[in-house]
Amino acid sequence: MLLPLGNRIRATSTYISIIGCDLTEKFHHSVYVILLKSAVAEHPSILRCNPNRDPAKPCLYVGMTGLPVEHRFENHKSGYKSAWTVKKYGIRLMPELYEHLNPMPFEAAAQMEKDLTEDLRAEGYTVTGGT
């Protein structure tokens, strides 16, 4: 299933230049989005964070990493430095929502993780992570 990108996130190079990073530096940090089983939305803590969620839209986890994104997903699923929501409910990565944003410097990834979480919630997705 492909989800529309809409006009949610700014182009990475523009975003990085706005926060004052040197674009000639080699970047290796990434944001990523993981599709979660809908059962995660049964947890009160998840519902509290997503009061305006659209139950017809999928549940997602947003994170950032300095590792290759696929390796970070494997770590989540195996329980190494894992978010409980991903370990228990994680299905797959959703590169259509983040690939165009990566790579970036640490500072940009930390901010982009928050922004992407907010933007997805504003579109009605049930989102966890993104802190």
For residue 127, what pLDDT is reported?
98
For residue 24, what pLDDT is reported?
47
Over residues 93-117, the pLDDT tens digits come to 999 999 999 999 999 999 999 999 9
The predicted model gives 41-60 an average pLDDT of 96
For residue 130, what pLDDT is reported?
87
Over residues 65-100, the pLDDT tens digits come to 999 999 999 999 999 999 999 999 999 999 999 999
The predicted model gives 25-30 an average pLDDT of 85
Structure tokens at 24: 């000639």
Residues 6 or more apart whose CB falls under 8 angstroms from that of 63 comprise: 31, 32, 34, 72, 83, 86, 113, 129, 130
For residue 7, what pLDDT is reported?
44
**Average model confidence (pLDDT) across the chain:** 87
Q: What percent of the chain has pLDDT over 70?
A: 81
Is the separation of the CB atoms in 28 and 101 below 8 Å? no
User: Residue ranges per domain, the chain?
Assistant: 27-129
Structure tokens at 120: 């997805």
58 versus 1: which is more confidently predicted?
Answer: 58
Whole-model pTM?
0.82
Is the separation of the CB atoms in 32 and 88 below 8 Å? no
Alpha helices in 79-105 (DSSP H): 84-89
Give which of 93, 92, 124 is closest to 8, Cα–Cα.
124
For residue 2, what pLDDT is reported?
37
d(CA 74, CA 107): 24
